[in-house]
Homo-oligomer: A and B are copies of this chain.
Amino acid sequence: MNYKIAVIPGDGIGPEIVGASTKVLDKIGEKFNHSFDYTEVLAGGVAIDACDTPLPQETIDICKASDAVLLGALGGPKWDNLPGDKRPEAGLLGIRKALGLYANLRPAILYEELKASCPLKPEIVGDELDLMVVRELTGGIYFGEKGQDGDNAAWDVMKYTRPEVLRIARKAFEIAMKRHKKVTNVDKANVLGVSRFWRSIVLEVAKDFPEVELNHLYVDNAAMQLVINPKQFDVIVTSNLFGDILSDEASMITGSIGMLPSASLSDGKFGMYEPIHGSAPDIAGQDIANPIATIISVAMMLRFSLDLTEEADLIEAAVKKTLSQGYRTADIYSEGMKKVGTVEMGQRIIENL
C-alpha cells in the first residue's frame, strides 16, 4: 500500500526528531512492503520566517490531501514577542481547527525502564501507570471570542456547544471501552456554567455506555489526585484548557515526558501525530534530543490512521528493547546506561525492528 504523509518538522529540535522518525517508518515500509510518501510542509516559526504567516494555506491543503500528518514541534523564543495571531502557536491552533482535530489523545505511561526518573514515590506509582487524557482540542477558551478595551480590560470567552461536547464525550467512552472501562470527567461545575453544561452532556452520552464507570472531579481536585493517587485513572475526558494543564501534569508524573506521543483526531481515520514535549530550542541542532516520543507518535499514526496494527506493535516493541539494552538519550540518562544521541537512538531502534 501507498500512504501519503504530510510532515511538519517545525522549529527547534523538530527537524531532528522527525528525521529520526521517518527513518523508522521507512524501515517499516521496507519490511512490510508499504510505501510512505512524505510531503514536507511549513508551520510555526519557520513558516513565519519564510512566508510571514505561521500557517500557510498550502500547508493546510497538503495536510488535507494526506492520510495523516506527522508534526515535530512548533515555537521558540525568537517569535515570542510577535502579536498573538502571528505567533507559532497560532499556527498550531490554526492547523488543529482547519483539520477538525477535535480529540487530542495523550497517553501517560510509566516506562518500567525509566522508573528511576519518576518524581513520585514508588509506593504511589506501583508497578504500572497507564492513563489516557482525552482533551477537547478545537473549542473552549482556545477558540472563544476575545476582546480588549484599550488599556482597561481584556477577555476571552470559554464556550462549548452541544455537538462539540457530544463528540468528545463519545470519543472518550469509546476509548474507555477498549481500555479499563472507566471515565473520569474533569470540569469546574461548582463555579462555571459552561462546565455544568459540559457535565450534563457527558451524563447523557454515558447512558449509551452502561458498561463504563463514570465519575466526576473538579479540576483543582484532579490536579491533586494526579499527584497522590494517579492509579485511580483510566480515561480522563476534559476541555481544551483543563486538558492542556492536566495532560502536562500527567506526563510529568510518569517521568517520561521525552517518551510520550499524542494523537489529534478528527472524525474518521485522519489524524495528526506529535510528541507531547516542545521544540526545546536550547538543545536544537546538537544531536541530543530524544526522538522516542516522535517515534512512538509514528506508531500511534500507524495504529489509528492507517490501520497497521502489527507495524505499530513492532515499533513499540523495538523502543522497549532498545531501552532494555541500556541506550539512553541525555534527558533519560542515568548512571550505568549507554548515552546516545538523536541519530544513534533512531538507528538502534531500527536495528531492533
Chain A residues with a Cβ under 8 A of chain B: 75, 84, 87, 89, 93, 118-121, 124, 141-142, 144, 146-148, 151-162, 188, 190-194, 196-198, 219-221, 223-224, 226-228, 241, 244-249, 251-253, 257
Q: Which residues of B contact A160 (CB under 8 A)?
A: 153-155
Q: Which residues of B contact A118 (CB under 8 A)?
A: 121
A241 and B194 CA atoms in complex are apart in Å by 14
Q: Kindly report which residue of chain B lies nearest to residue A246, judged by CB atoms.
A: B223
Q: Kindly report which residue of chain B lies nearest to residue A227, judged by CB atoms.
A: B252
With contacts A151-B162, A248-B223, A249-B223 known, is A156 near B193, CB below 8 A?
yes
Do B190 and A87 touch (CB < 8 A)?
yes
Do B253 and A148 touch (CB < 8 A)?
no
Do B221 and A248 touch (CB < 8 A)?
yes
A245 and B225 CA atoms in complex are apart in Å by 11
Other 20 A-B pairs with CB < 8 A, given A220-B247, A249-B249: A89-B191, A120-B227, A141-B158, A141-B191, A148-B197, A153-B161, A154-B159, A154-B196, A155-B157, A155-B159, A156-B192, A188-B241, A188-B244, A219-B244, A220-B245, A224-B252, A224-B257, A227-B227, A228-B252, A245-B245
Q: Which residues of B contact A190 (CB under 8 A)?
A: 75, 87, 89
Q: Kindly report which residue of chain B lies nearest to residue A164, judged by CB atoms.
A: B153
